[in-house]
Amino acid sequence: AQSVAQPEDQVNVAEGNPLTVKCTYSVSGNPYLFWYVQYPNRGLQFLLKYITGDNLVKGSYGFEAEFNKSQTSFHLKKPSALVSDSALYFCAVRALGNSGYALNFGKGTSLLVTP
Amino acid sequence: ETGVTQTPRHLVMGMTNKKSLKCEQHLGHNAMYWYKQSAKKPLELMFVYSLEERVENNSVPSRFSPECPNSSHLFLHLHTLQPEDSALYLCASSQDRGASRDTQYFGPGTRLTVL
């Protein structure tokens, strides 16, 4: 089965410092990986995705993610965190199942950026 | 978030009530999805629609009934719900459910409370 794991429930970062939100995946075949962000009382917003090609993927709001096949990881990064980045972050993998290509989500990582 | 809209944003209902959640996408997509987001649990895929076709997750109780009258609208009809059904219900759409590269775009969700 295709799945992702987010090992950290919460990540705390000071404003201006670099941030990393971790995600590892388990798939058979080529992985299609996604990052979403959810602000309080809002839906999920798409940040970026890896399909193929360059291992460093750039997305919205200055976020990027690095696909590492040997470590089966797809960590989300940002060089300089903002307080407004505080939110819930979800990693997801596209899985082929009975419903076609659905998304299997991790449990989410809460990011808190302090001033 | 204006690409996918959901109404109502908040709903409180008793266990004997019948209500419906509505989702509309303005992106010209062909596939629509219902997800359930409960506290402390990963997002759960409930239903997928692609044009006229419905693919159902067998684990979804029959008290949840989806309807997709056209490719832009998706409903979730609710009846005789249980308190454990209280959750955030998210609608999403993508160009095609069968394309692994497609990004799913989410609505803001309906916060459902069952008393």
Write down the pLDDT at residue A97.
64
Selected residue of A27, A32, A44, A49 to mutate for chain B interface (largest B Cβ count, 10 A): A44
Asked if the Cβ–Cβ distance from A42 to B55 is below 8 Å, we say: no
Nearest chain B residue (CA) to A99: B55
B50 touching chain A per CB within 8 A: yes
The more confident residue out of B80 and A103 is B80
pLDDT recorded at residue A62: 95
Q: What is the per-residue pLDDT for A29?
A: 79
Q: What is the arithmetic mean of pLDDT over B84-104?
A: 85
Selected residue with higher pLDDT from B15 and A115? A115
Pairing mode, strands A10-14 and B4-7: unpaired
Q: Is the pLDDT of residue B99 over 70?
A: no
B102 chain-A contacts, CB cut-off 8 A? 101
Rounded distance between C-alpha atoms, residue B97 and residue B82, angstroms: 30
Q: How far is B48 from chain A (nearest CA, A)?
A: 6
Question: Which residues of chain B make contact with A39, given a CB cutoff of 8 A?
Answer: none
The answer to whether the CB of A60 falls within 8 A of the CB of A86 is: no
**Using CA atoms, how far apart are residues A91 and A106, in angstroms rounded to an integer?**
5
Mind listing the pLDDT tens digit for each residue in A45-79?
999 999 888 899 999 999 999 999 999 999 999 99
> Mind listing the pLDDT tens digit for each residue in B23-77?
999 999 988 999 999 987 888 889 888 876 776 665 889 999 999 998 899 999 9
Query: What confidence tens digit (pLDDT) does each residue in A86-100 have?
Result: 999 999 998 766 556
Q: Which of A42, A21, A43 is nearest to A33 (CA)?
A: A21
Q: pLDDT by residue (tens digit) across B63-91?
A: 999 999 988 999 999 999 999 999 999 99
Q: Report, in angstroms and rounded to the nearest whole number, the Rg of chain B calculated over CA atoms.
A: 13
Check B43 against A42: CB less than 8 A apart: no
CB-CB under 8 Å, B111 with A107: no
pLDDT at B23 (0 to 100):
97
pLDDT at residue A94, rounded to an integer: 84
Could you give the dihedral angle defined by the CA atoms of residues B84, B19, B94 and B26, in that order, rounded to the nearest 10 degrees? Answer: -140
Percent of chain A, pLDDT > 70? 94
**Chain A CB contacts of B47 below 8 Å:** 99
Question: For A42, which of B55, B98, B108 is closest by C-beta distance?
Answer: B108
